[in-house]
């Protein structure tokens, strides 16, 4: 038996950098360093653990849709231990929205071949948290999402989804799409050996024609949504800051009373 896992990983602008929009209202990716979305490290980690806990032959492919530099995200995932990578890159992808991204990812996942797709709970830039559900819908397979615990055995994936009202135990047969939260377990750091090994691992590049997609189906032109404006939030006006010299709690109470909170 063998198990083919595809992990979707996004290349995002560093959240601690000065993120902003370009003139066409897409994310300006030139001014801020990019990296593997930290939440996708958890997805890579769970794929590695499923592989380590399995008697089957497991092959882990990491997949990204993104610009040239997105290869960095793939390298990081490979150095953590994934086996191979697929990079979907095409100038016409610029400005693709969530529906479009899910289209490209689904085509690439089908082309790569899969039994299990693992995604992060949300990207750290768009933070929509919808791509895994969209992938399940497109691929026509069960969605087993937002898991803080996941396991795969005998063609079945099980997991725990911690919701607001309840914690639920989920179960579905493979093939399936899973997404994991940052509660699923700390992601490992790439070892030196892992980093060296990653340099030799195969990275395939596909463009839209490899996926039988037309430019008009994706990108800014093909998008299902349109951003009309983006405005930087005005800096907050400096607040009052007091040093506690024994009366700090009372002073704060006075402020809260003045604001009618008490």
Partner 1 sequence: MAEVLVYVDHVDGAVRKPTLELLTLARRIGEPVAVALGAGAESTAAALAEHGATRVLTHDASEYADYLVVPKVDALQAAVAAVSPAAVLVPSSAEGKEIAARLALRIGSGIITDAVDLEAGDEGPVATQSVFAASFSTKSRVSKGTPVITVKPNSAAVEAAPAAGAVEALAVTFSAQATGTKITGRTPRESTGRPELTEAAIVVSGGRGVNGAENFGLIEALADSLGAAVGASRAAVDAGWYPHTNQVGQTGKSVSPQLYIANGISGAIQHRAGMQTSKTIVAVNKDAEAPIFDLVDYGVVGDLFDVVPQLTEEIKTRKG
Ligand X SMILES: Cc1cc2nc3c(=O)[nH]c(=O)nc-3n(C[C@H](O)[C@H](O)[C@@H](O)COP(=O)(O)OP(=O)(O)OC[C@H]3O[C@@H](n4cnc5c(N)ncnc54)[C@H](O)[C@@H]3O)c2cc1C
Q: Which of residues 107-136 bind partner 1 (CB under 8 A)?
A: 121-122, 124-125, 127-130, 132-134, 136
Binding residue for partner 1, selected from 31, 137, 153, 214, defined by CB under 8 A:
137
Residue carrying the six token digits 């601690």: 16
- ∠ CA 156-161-164, nearest 5°, is 160
**Of 165 and 192, which has the nearer Cβ to partner 1?**
165
Query: Which of the listed partners (ligand X, partner 1, none) does 32 bind, with a CB threshold of 5 to 8 Å by partner kind?
Result: none
Binding residue for partner 1, selected from 25, 112, 195, 197, defined by CB under 8 A:
25
Q: How far is the CB of 35 from ligand X (least distance, A)?
A: 11
What CA–CA distance (Å, rounded) separates 101 from 90? 12
From the list 137, 157, 136, the residue with the least C-alpha distance to 147 is 157
What CA–CA distance (Å, rounded) separates 205 from 191? 25
Q: What is the CA radius of gyration of the chain?
A: 22
Q: Is residue 61 involved in binding ligand X (CB under 6 A)?
A: no
Q: Is residue 120 involved in binding ligand X (CB under 6 A)?
A: yes
Q: Is residue 230 involved in binding partner 1 (CB under 8 A)?
A: yes
From the list 5, 89, 74, 85, the residue with the least C-alpha distance to 36 is 74
Interacting residues with ligand X (CB under 6 A): 8-10, 27, 37-40, 43, 63-66, 96-99, 101, 105, 119-120, 122-123, 125-132, 225
């Amino acid at each position: 038996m063998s198990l083919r896992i595809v992990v979707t990983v996004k290349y995002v602008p560093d959240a601690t950098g000065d993120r902003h929009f370009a003139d066409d209202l897409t994310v300006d990716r030139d001014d801020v360093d990019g990296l593997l979305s930290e939440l996708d490290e958890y997805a890579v980690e769970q794929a590695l653990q499923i592989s380590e806990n399995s008697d089957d032959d497991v092959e882990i492919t990491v997949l990204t849709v993104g610009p040239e530099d997105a290869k960095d995200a793939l390298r990081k995932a490979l150095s953590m231990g994934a086996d191979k990578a697929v990079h979907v890159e095409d100038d016409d992808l610029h400005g693709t929205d969530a529906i479009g991204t899910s289209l490209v990812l689904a085509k690439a996942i089908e082309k790569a071949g899969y039994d299990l797709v693992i995604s992060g709970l949300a990207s750290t830039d768009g933070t929509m948290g919808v791509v895994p559900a969209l992938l399940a819908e497109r691929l026509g397979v069960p969605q087993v999402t937002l898991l803080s615990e996941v396991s795969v055995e005998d063609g079945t994936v099980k997991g725990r989804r911690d919701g607001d009202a309840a914690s639920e135990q989920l179960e579905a047969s493979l093939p399936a799409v899973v997404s994991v939260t940052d509660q699923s377990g700390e992601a490992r750091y790439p070892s030196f050996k892992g980093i060296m090994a990653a340099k030799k691992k195969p990275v395939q590049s596909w463009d839209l024609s490899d996926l039988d997609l037309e430019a008009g189906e994706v990108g800014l032109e093909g998008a299902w949504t349109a951003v009309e404006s983006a405005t930087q939030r005005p800096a907050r006006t400096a607040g009052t800051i007091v040093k506690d010299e024994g009366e700090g709690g009372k002073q704060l109470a006075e402020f809260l009373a003045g604001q009618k909170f008490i």
